[in-house]
Structure 1
Amino acid sequence: MIWVGFETLLRNVEIRRIKTGDLKWQNDTSCYLLDVMRTKTSLSSNLTFQLSPQCSQHVRRLIETVEYTDTETFGHRFLFQPVNIHTNRYFPSTSSKLSRGKSIDRMLVKAGFSEGLLTQLQNESKVSREDVGMLSSNSLNQAFARLWGIAGKVGDSNRQSGRYRTWTGHSVRVGGAIELFKAGYSLEKITEMGNWSDPKMVFRYIRGYLASEKSHGKLYA
């Protein structure tokens, strides 16, 4: 999850929404092409990413390890799911261990939305809700936090408001933006690649790197 998110700058929910059918193996490059719908507020776009050979091999190994097979439901299963610790496999799609999704419809009705408006919203929606079987945001963040611990990192107890003391789903976007800037990409290009609405947001992520390198002038070079 971390590797895919780092290479694509996908948001937490976008990582969790990836399905096996979104991946297309390319024999000539030994890489996966990943098709995603990126959406936040009024911004939406269909993007295709070519994962690196190294990342692609790990994704392929994951698929083989959990014994995903080319069946009717293969392309409709979420790529990242809870693992059965006894079998080292994903739970079957009918398992009660999987998320039951978020009952957004029920919440909207309780909030006063009419059935007619609810139907219209459903018909116009281009992005699926957090469906049954979709990994929860909390589960993704827990996985990232565990890897932080495995890597021997120490939480920053001085962080304001106690937020982001370990890696989270957002960390891959921040880290990816920093690495792209270090590689010479402009703020505008990084903003486009990460589907941000304003380059100022990207600058907020890279300003720590700029301060440490004393290279504020590179922004305007």
Structure 2
Amino acid sequence: MRLTIVYGTEHKGATYHIAQEVISSFKGAEIEEIFLPRDLPEYCSACLRCFCEEKGSCSHKHYTEPLRAKLLAADILILTSPVYAYHMSGQMKVFLDHFANMWMVHRPEKAMFLKQAIVIAAASGPVYAKTLNGIKDSLDFWGVAKTYKIGVALMESEWQRVSPKVKARVSRRIQKVIAQVKKRQGKVKPCWRVKKWFYISRFMQKKIKANPPDVLYWEEQGWTGKVRPWKNN
């Protein structure tokens, strides 16, 4: 099993420690770690090359293409972010911006439809929902079949000061998610939201045809016909 984990900050705080507990539950897994902003220090420049040209034409492709390869090689994706001003970290937003061309309405990767993902967000209070949902949006629109959320209200800013009771609650939540991931591994099917956006996007490529490179990509994949990315066609 291969895991790719994306850390929304280089600070090894509470969110990092929770992620380590998640990783430790996958014994023997191959793990690729991406730290932000270290591994992607550039802002998206809105050049639109990734939409209008080939997927690898990003002006920051010397950063993005190795990261894309790690995302595609993984069986399970883990994306983490502490809560910054009620939302994900700026570094995580920059990361997701660079891969917007993998969104369903553009050129999603077939491999994504067979993956599972876990999103982790920790806050000092119960304000993690927007962070979790913001990251999950990108995963859903990438086509990731099933995404689980682990949101934690620590009531402390430092992991070392978090009470044993809260840490035990975090561990129970982690183990519940891990059990579901392992149960579905190798036989996961896209959730309703992913399928819904696939068929909406399919209609757009067949009828509206707003962006010719996207239309051509969908036709080449056979998705405007009877082929589906989550099936052995």
Scaled by the length of structure 2, the TM-score of the pair is: 0.24
Q: If the length of structure 1 is used for normalisation, what is the TM-score?
A: 0.25
- Bigger radius of gyration among the two: 1
